[in-house]
Amino acid sequence: MGPEVAAPLTVFTAVVLVFWVVFAYGAKRRAAELETVRAVVEKTGEASPELIKAIGRPPQHKYADLRKGLVLIAIAVAFWGLGVLIDQPEAVGPMTGVALFPGLVGLVYVLFQFMGGNRDDG
């Protein structure tokens, strides 16, 4: 296997691995939260909505969508810039295509921020 196959394979494998680790950690955290609620219900016989909310996820910051959107747009610009800096005309098109994914998702997050109203819980 030459470097023209190994390099892209390594990059895409690393991306898949990062997503897998993030999702596995999230599933483990949610399982721990559910176990805590289960233990409280077994001890007290009931779980109030306030308790479940306190055990659950922390409240989101007022500008969380804007932050996520700007980070994703920055990643898109970095992918596009990488395509330009590779110094091969054939690289700009594919890297622009790759940049569209985080760029458009980031744009949607920014739109969510401005269309979603104000959050008071952050």
Can you tell me the mean pLDDT for 31-42? 83
Predicted local distance difference test score (pLDDT) of residue 47: 74
Q: Give the residue extent of every domain in the chain.
A: 1-57, 59-122
Separation between Cα atoms, residue 104 and residue 96, nearest integer Å: 12
Can you tell me the mean pLDDT for 36-65? 79
Name which residue leads in pLDDT, 19 or 8.
19
Separation between Cα atoms, residue 28 and residue 42, nearest integer Å: 21
Name the average pLDDT for the chain: 86
Predicted local distance difference test score (pLDDT) of residue 1: 77
Q: Is the pLDDT of residue 120 over 60?
A: no
- For residues 60 and 119, the answer to whether their CB atoms sit within 8 Å is yes
Q: pLDDT tens-digit profile of 51-99?
A: 777 776 677 788 889 999 999 999 999 999 998 998 888 888 999 999 9
User: What are all long-range contacts of 24-31, with beta carbons under 8 Å and residues at least 24 apart?
Assistant: none
Q: Is the pLDDT of residue 118 over 70?
A: no
Predicted local distance difference test score (pLDDT) of residue 117: 60
Separation between Cα atoms, residue 36 and residue 44, nearest integer Å: 12
Listed ranges 5-9, 18-22, 52-56; the one with the highest mean pLDDT: 18-22
C-alpha of 103 from chain center: 13
Name which residue leads in pLDDT, 9 or 48.
9
Predicted local distance difference test score (pLDDT) of residue 122: 44
